[in-house]
Amino acid sequence: MTNPTNDENNIETNFKEKMTYGEYLQLDSLLSSQNRLSGHHDEMLFIIIHQVSELWMKLILHELNAAIEAIKKDHLSVSFKKLARVSQIQFQIIKAWDVLSTLTPSEYLEFRDSLGNASGFQSYQYRLIEFALGYKTDFILKIYEKDTELHQQLEQAYRAPSLYDVSISALKRAGFDISDDILKRDVSKAYTFDESVHKAWKEVYQNTDDHWDLYELAEKLVDIEDRFQQWRFRHMKTVERIIGFKTGTGGSSGVHYLKKVLDQTFFPELWHLRSEL
């Protein structure tokens, strides 16, 4: 019989001139970025949860931008894998709130003042995701004026076609009659319901065999908005659990603001047509 210990003989142990796992992932930099300003034990939880969420958001943007480019080229099947990955990443971010919910109001009060006016409201990656999904608000850009490079990145995303814009263009290229007002609209404005888009998606859903790729695209979009709203809801309930209805550190109305954004939709026609099918 083979000696089990012999199976490990090929494990590399000499890294004097080779790259290690930690070096590849730049763990020295990554794991030294959790600097507690208060020194309170639970501030570590607070920092890591938000840093991990930002890493997941970076990957969401990576996949969303790739999906947008694929849809522009009518490579819908290529976009499906990327959009499905976004949905799975969203699930990870949703579950992160369960971990943060272990933080009690008394524990948070011990270090809340250390945040100053820093707030998740200022997350630029969250705004980039909103822009990519089609929810555009220009007032938010003012927050980032102190960083010229970042402000330019946000401005560019603000004026770029969203995931839904390119999906609607795909409907047009597939032969559906889409209003010129929609096709030529100012994409820096938040999208609102359009009857021609609604009619096109409704036909897709009523004739799935003839429009299977567009049907699958529509369902991928619904998956993403569904998960996004779940994320928003869990965020709102976690904030309510920890600080109640206090004003947020960044000056927002806190839970009141988070409840209000639950009414925002990205793909209104895809939700509306479900009542008519």
pTM, to two decimals: 0.90
- The answer to the question of whether 139 is labelled as a binding residue is no
Extract the tokens encoding 7. Answer: 């199976």
> What pLDDT does 64 receive?
98
- The answer to the question of whether 249 is labelled as a binding residue is yes
- Residues 119 and 135: their CA atoms lie apart, in Å, by 20
Alpha carbon of residue 187 to chain centroid: 19
- The answer to the question of whether 49 is labelled as a binding residue is yes
> What pLDDT does 251 receive?
64
Residue with tokens 């939700």: 271
Segment 193-205, tens digit of pLDDT: 999 999 999 999 9
Segment 28-43, tens digit of pLDDT: 999 999 999 998 999 9
Residue with tokens 């809801």: 233
Extract the tokens encoding 234. Answer: 């869990």
Q: Domains in the chain, please, with CATH?
A: 40-111+118-275 (1.20.58.480)
Are 77 and 89 contacting, i.e. CB atoms less than 8 angstroms apart? no
DSSP 8-state assignment for residue 192: -
> How many residues belong to the chain?
277
> Per-residue pLDDT for the chain (277 aa), expressed as one digit of tens each?
455 555 677 777 777 778 898 999 999 999 999 999 998 999 999 999 999 999 999 999 999 999 999 999 999 999 999 999 999 999 999 999 999 999 999 999 999 989 888 877 789 999 999 999 999 988 888 888 889 999 999 999 999 999 999 999 999 999 999 999 999 999 999 899 999 999 999 999 999 999 999 999 999 999 999 999 999 999 899 889 888 877 766 666 678 878 888 888 999 999 999 999 9
Segment 102-139, tens digit of pLDDT: 999 999 999 998 988 887 778 999 999 999 999 998 88
